[in-house]
Amino acid sequence: MPDRSGRHRSLRQARATILASTLLLVTSAAASAAPVVVPPRQRDAAEAAYPPDGKGDARVVLGLLVDVTGAVTDVSVREGDPPFADAAVAAARTWSFSPATRDGSPVAARISAVVTFRAPSQTPPTPAQPEPAAPPSPGAPTTAPSTAREPVLEVAVRGEHEELGSIHVPRAETRFIPGAFGDPFRVVEALPGMAPWISGLPYFYVRGSSPENVGYFIDGIRVPLLFHVGAGPSVLAPALVDTVDLFPAAYPARYGRFAGAVIAGETTRPNETLAHGEAEVRVFDASALAEAPIDRGQGSVLAAARYGYTGPILSLIDPSYSLAYWDYQLRASHRVFGTDQVSLFLFGALDELRNLGSPTFRVQYHRADVRYDHPLREGNLRVAATVSYDDTLTALETPTGAGASAALNGPGARVRAELDQHATHDVWVRAGADLEVRRFDVDDYDGVAHDPHTDVVGGVYAEVVWHPAERVELVPGIRVDAYQVRTASTLAPQPRLSARIKITADVSSISAVGVAHQEPTDEVFVPAKLPDPIDEAPRQSYQYSEALEARLPSSLRVRLTGFYSEMVAASVGATEQNKGVELFLRRDFTRRLAGFVSYTLSRSDTTLNGITTRSSGDSTHLLSVVVGYDLGHDWRVGTRLFVRSGRPYDVTCPPGPGCTVAQSQLQHTGELPAFYRVDARIEKKWLYPGGRWLGATLECFNALDQAETTGENFSPSQGFSLNRQNPIILPSVGFGGGF
């Protein structure tokens, strides 16, 4: 008899198979019918700034409406209090996204953003990196979904640890300041104690110390200049600049070999998640930057360049002059062994000013820096090597018709090691060492030509950021440099100490004292400035400052600083003394109405061979007032007022051919007329799908067309007169875009 039980079992299995297949088809059809929803994804790094009047840690929850272009059109505070909520809202308005999509079409979406603020500490700041938004549940609505199902953007913001005695400018503010042409480094011109040699030339006296004593650093690498000649930008693409610090004196032990101030910039971290870029065309130059991740986010490559075409503009001012400048940056990085990172950073720049076809000022330099970073449990170890080439020249005619010139030319190489380690909760150790070899094929200074030579310079440093008590921060440190320059050998210990004491929760005192040393072949050549004998000599400075800083209502911060420094160049019998007071009142540029006021009252005297006179760069009064306002809808306006009192002059006709005895005995002394300048800026941005944007900027340098007296002149035939340059007014119309 047939096996009916087996047949029935087979029928049941077949029916079950058919039913399962039917359910699978129905489920698949239903799934295919559901819309495919992709949430917004943030394209740029968060620029939320820790508020200056904030205290401790905080958490803010925002509701964001991201439209079909990826722009944030509405921001609401769901959790959190001022000033953190205000800082989070101001940052969120600047964010751009790849818009949400439904079945591939852009749609508006509402998401939550959790912004966590961490108070500044002694640990190295970690740049904020937003996490990708979590995908919504299948079938979730695409516009204004319920709070429970909203994608959540997590953003961590750590307050930046400001070095004691520094004036720190976070990147979130640097590109909004009028008169800086959107360039982060040009912001320093508006800070206390900064007096340009000539208005529009970014070569500065800092607290009376001459430009030859001011050091410029990019990621700890020394460069001859940070700024292009004229009213040009810095030598780095603005999007590559992360932070800018001005150290007027007693700077951290990491920096050295300059007797005056230090201006230091740090570049942004490699972006290993999203490709981005931007480009801009202005009246006098064009620039572009692009960066893209490689090897599935294990590294990135970046390229940037700028080219100046100032000839037509300069020919309108003075046809006898021509000016050219360019710069480039190339960076490649990759992770190795999981967390370590190796990177190559190439950058360089050229500036050349010619008069009647002959170069009167030229600075060309190139740097190739290879770095290996090894993260420690609570710190970082970096080992790096840099190859360099410098070619600098200045040549001009003195008031008496004689020539003066200076030139340096040759390659170099440097190796360094840097350790940042959080030893305990209250102690952060920073230490390092470097060794540099520089070849000078040309070393001429004011008619004195040195034979080609090779200089060897080395140094070690160590300092501790220590919190012995809740309201006390101490930073003791020492740097020791040893060098052999032009056959001379020197050992230069340079101790430093900084301290911050919180008198109350809102008032602190900041003290800084230190010794700095500079070897003789590190001059900065400034156009139209005569070389000074003190610039060629080795020199050592003793620096001291005392400041009182307070947080005020309405997100204001004020700092009052008194300073004194004395620089000694014993080999030429020269001493320079600088003393004064500074006032700096600031409101963050992340606020709708923002700005700052900086005022310096100072005196600089030089003693040479027993005779004391006012230093040639001394300006008794310096004032900068900067105001910016966010009009909404991505419109921003701003203006800047700069006022400087006149520098002293003292000129005679030296005895010799063409100069009578009576003329040589006649001394002309006095002070150049004061100068003021007004700059203005208007900016508008348009946001498009995919995080793309376009922008237009109208900015005017010296909007009121003021002429400046630049110096004095004496000739035997015409006698004494003041040099007054033609007014330099630079209206800059720029168009840019990015993705």
Same domain, 229 and 340: yes
pLDDT at 504: 92
Instruction: Copy the structure tokens of residue 567.
Output: 């620089």
How many whole angstroms separate alpha carbon 18 and alpha carbon 735? 65
243 located within any domain: yes
Half-sphere exposure of 249 (CA within 13 A, CB side): 33
**CATH at residue 618:** 2.40.170.20
For residue range 382-417, list pLDDT tens digits in order. Answer: 999 999 999 988 775 544 444 567 788 899 999 999
**φ, ψ dihedrals at 288, nearest 5°:** -155, 150
Q: Are 433 and 459 in contact (CB under 8 A)?
A: yes
422 located within any domain: yes
How many whole angstroms separate alpha carbon 235 and alpha carbon 364? 11
Q: Are 516 and 545 in contact (CB under 8 A)?
A: no
Q: Which residues pair with 247 in a beta bridge?
A: 262
Higher pLDDT, 23 or 220: 220
From the list 319, 321, 305, 400, the residue with the least C-alpha distance to 361 is 321
Same domain, 212 and 241: yes
Q: Which residues pair with 170 in a beta bridge?
A: 243
Q: Is 14 exposed, middle or buried (0-12, 13-18, 19+ CB in 10 A)?
A: exposed
From the list 616, 730, 594, the residue with the least C-alpha distance to 672 is 616
How many whole angstroms separate alpha carbon 447 and alpha carbon 306? 35
For residue range 648-667, list pLDDT tens digits in order. Answer: 887 777 666 667 666 666 66
19 located within any domain: no
Q: Which residues pair with 683 in a beta bridge?
A: 636, 697
CB contact set of 225 (below 8 Å; sequence gap of 6+):
203, 216, 235, 349, 351, 363, 524
Secondary structure class of 14 (helix, strand, coil)? helix
Provide the pLDDT confidence category of residue 132 given band limits of 50, 70 and 90.
Answer: very low
Residue 671, domain extent: 167-738
Same domain, 153 and 185: no
Same domain, 590 and 569: yes
Q: What is the mean pLDDT of residues 666-686?
A: 85
pLDDT at 171: 59
Residue 715 confidence (pLDDT) above 70? no
For residue range 562-573, list pLDDT tens digits in order. Answer: 999 999 988 888
Same domain, 154 and 173: no
Residue 372 identity (one-letter amino acid): Y
Same domain, 148 and 261: no
Higher pLDDT, 391 or 319: 391
How many whole angstroms separate alpha carbon 449 and alpha carbon 564? 35
pLDDT at 19: 37
From the list 179, 57, 173, 84, the residue with the least C-alpha distance to 588 is 173
Q: Which residues pair with 635 in a beta bridge?
A: 632, 684
How many whole angstroms separate alpha carbon 273 and alpha carbon 714? 62
Domain boundary among 125, 158, 191: 158
pLDDT at 10: 46
Residue 493 confidence (pLDDT) above 90? yes
Same domain, 561 and 654: yes
Same domain, 354 and 399: yes
Mean pLDDT of the chain: 80
Same domain, 217 and 316: yes
For residue range 334-360, list pLDDT tens digits in order. Answer: 999 988 999 999 999 998 887 777 777
Cα-based distances in Å from 285 to 184, 233, 407: 17, 9, 27
Same domain, 207 and 121: no
CB contact set of 568 (below 8 Å; sequence gap of 6+):
539, 540, 541, 542, 574, 575
Provide the pLDDT confidence category of residue 57 given band limits of 50, 70 and 90.
Answer: confident
Secondary structure class of 30 (helix, strand, coil)? helix
632 located within any domain: yes
Highest average pLDDT, of 490-494, 633-637, 723-727, comes from 490-494
From the list 393, 432, 382, 435, the residue with the least C-alpha distance to 412 is 435
Same domain, 486 and 442: yes
Question: pLDDT over 90 for what percent of the chain?
Answer: 33
Of 13-17, 252-256, 667-671, 685-689, least confident by mean pLDDT is 13-17
Cα-based distances in Å from 223 to 59, 227, 431, 524: 41, 10, 22, 10
Domain boundary among 128, 158, 188: 158
Higher pLDDT, 190 or 514: 514
What's the full length of the chain, in residues?
739
18 located within any domain: no
CB contact set of 243 (below 8 Å; sequence gap of 6+):
160, 168, 169, 170, 171, 265, 266
CB contact set of 94 (below 8 Å; sequence gap of 6+):
47
Provide the pLDDT confidence category of residue 141 given band limits of 50, 70 and 90.
Answer: very low
271 located within any domain: yes
Q: Pairing relation of β-strands 488-502 and 507-518?
A: antiparallel
Q: What is the mean pLDDT of residues 544-568?
A: 92
Q: Which residues pair with 354 in a beta bridge?
A: 322, 359
pTM: 0.79
11 located within any domain: no
704 located within any domain: yes
Q: Is 141 exposed, middle or buried (0-12, 13-18, 19+ CB in 10 A)?
A: middle
How many whole angstroms separate alpha carbon 271 and alpha carbon 290? 11
**φ, ψ dihedrals at 64, nearest 5°:** -120, 135
Q: How many domains does the chain have?
A: 2
Same domain, 148 and 200: no
**CATH at residue 128:** 3.30.2420.10
For residue range 76-122, list pLDDT tens digits in order. Answer: 888 888 878 888 887 787 787 877 887 777 788 888 888 888 776 54
Domain boundary among 97, 131, 158: 158
Higher pLDDT, 270 or 232: 270
Q: Is 49 exposed, middle or buried (0-12, 13-18, 19+ CB in 10 A)?
A: buried
